[in-house]
Amino acid sequence: MRMSPRGAMVLLLIAIGFVMPVAAAEMKPGAHAVASAHPLATEAGLEVLAAGGNAFDAAVAVSSTLAVVEPTGSGLGGGGFWLLHRASDGFETFVDGRETAPAAAHERMYQDASGTAIAKRSRDGALAAAIPGEPAALEHLAKRYGRLGLARALQPAIRAARDGFACDVKLAEAFAAQWGRLDAEARRVFAVDGRAPRAGEAIVQPDLARTLERIAADGAPGFYEGPTGAALVAGSVAGGGVWTLDDLRHYRVVERRPTVSWFHGLRIVSAPPPSAGGITLGTTLGQLEALGWKPDQGARSKHLLIEALRRAYRDRAAYLGDPDFVRIPTTALLSTSYARTLAAGIDPNRATPSASLPPADPSPQGPQTTHFSVLDAEGNRVAGTLSVNLPFGAGAMAPGTGVLLNDEMDDFAASTTASNAYGLIGSVPNRVQPNKRPLSSMSPTFVEGPRGLLVLGTPGGSRIITMVLIGLLAWDSGADALGVVSQPRFHHQYLPDVVMFEPGAIDPEEQKQLADMGHVLKPLKDTYGNLHAVSWDPAHGKVEAASDPRGVGAARVVPVR
């Protein structure tokens, strides 16, 4: 059988490891694919795509619908990151809709008179809330990159808020666990017969529907100004917060250049600061490349991966913060020479105590989030990771808005000796300052290589980066999309100096070997994370989507003629 010139070219590109993005300029997936943390959000994205929208319109629809149906993970009162790829010209950008500290924020606002951090101040109530970025980011995505307009993309979310949706099992469990932490307004809005909603019961949010309708009609000013803006400020002040109308009016979305790193011929595009994701991924993978790491060597493979993570997370604490406030040596941290230097300090047979590494602050200077992955039939793609930090954010709702306030101020360093809710140590580059964006672990990521394309990301606080890392390593080893999101997980983040792992992620013999090497192991009772992935294999014309079996999400592929 004679091969067509086009087929021969594809095989050549596969052989040299550059199917993406070169071949993608000429080839199209021919299908829409959406994977998100909730079936209604996935359907919202597909609805907008079917109406003629592109992946960027779908991102607005999915993001806003998740804000309604998954209040544990995201919301209009929070923020997020959206990693974009435009198929027509290969343009890639990172839309930073991260929250910012209010102008009245200061370095000691979460400390007592002696300078000791008080965790509750940065986690519960209105004082814990940073200025939301999601509404501005939704308008930005729709205006600059979408086709249908903001109002059309918001319609599924408006319907879900106005007409209600059935509470799922995971959300019911979260309500039961967190009900006492929610303030009176949040309980009023969500209550069914005066109590926390149970699985299968309808949750209706008319105030949130009206807030979404104002955004649909007036764009971002419909949230940051007018009746909604005034209500948000009033709610913040009444709850002990420090928001002002100027804080809301002055919020701005920022576009940044994504990080790019390489591993085994894969091109990894990920989140730049104020996310730690791309740099931490790149630093870890660079060390593994230098070590000649292989996935099939049992405890040895895990040991080397843990040691690489230990050093990468140390650098997270030492160097990373808001790039508009802190000079970050991104090029140096992602360089091959630096990766080799770090790798040279790894003992192949012995754990390095984190305390023996150079201090994470060398010079003076939520497990709840959500993610979705979208690919449209033309090859446009979005990886979006959104958050309000802890479940239900600060637990405070501005009366009359339906908007739960985030508690992202906990992602700042309350002091250089305190850890946040995820155990991440504080550092000077991430100290509280007015109008600053807190450091994040959210890691929306694209992976390109001989197998094609993978779009992935997950919630999970400080564990986000290791979950994405384990997923892309599985992809590199031949896993399909479902295999990527199903991988057993373990985690190390420099401090605390322990290896946390899901049930079954490290077998008993490997546990013994790792303990003999000096690792401190902490088995977890439950699984964690909620990874969502979309993949495209241009050579075989195959598109896949998968949602983490640990969650209640949905993934669908819809062929398009």
Active site residues: 369
How far is it, in rounded angstroms, from Cα 249 to Cα 130? Answer: 14
Burial 23-53 (b: 16+ CB within 10 A, else e): bbeebbbbbbbbbbbbbbbbbbbbbbbeeeb
- Residues facing 522 on adjacent strands: 500
- Composition of the chain by helix, strand, coil, percent to 5: 40, 20, 45
Burial of 91 (0-12, 13-18, 19+ CB in 10 A): exposed
Q: What's the Rg (C-alpha) of the chain? A: 22
Burial of 480 (0-12, 13-18, 19+ CB in 10 A): middle
Per the structure block, which two tokens stand in for 32? Answer: 């829409």
226 in Cβ contact with 234 (< 8 Å)? no
How far is it, in rounded angstroms, from Cα 438 to Cα 430? Answer: 7
26 in Cβ contact with 373 (< 8 Å)? no
How far is it, in rounded angstroms, from Cα 440 to Cα 412? Answer: 9
In 10 A of CB 245, how many CB atoms?
Answer: 13
Bridge-based pairing of strands 499-501 and 452-457 is unpaired
Which residue matches tokens 């929070």?
Answer: 78
Q: Of the candidates 547, 544, 492, 554, which has an alpha carbon nearest to the alpha carbon of residue 518? A: 492
Amino acid at 122: S
- φ/ψ of 81, rounded to 5, equals -125, 140
Per the structure block, which two tokens stand in for 525? Answer: 């009772």
Cis peptide before 274 (omega within 30 of 0): yes
Per the structure block, which two tokens stand in for 47? Answer: 């609805």
Cis peptide before 21 (omega within 30 of 0): yes
Alpha helices, DSSP H only, in 320-463? 330-333, 336-344
- Strands of 381-387's sheet in order across: 254-256, 92-97, 79-85, 381-387, 370-375, 31-36, 554-559
DSSP 273-321: TTBSHHHHHHHHHHHHHHHT--TTSTHHHHHHHHHHHHHHHHHHHHH-S
93 in Cβ contact with 258 (< 8 Å)? yes
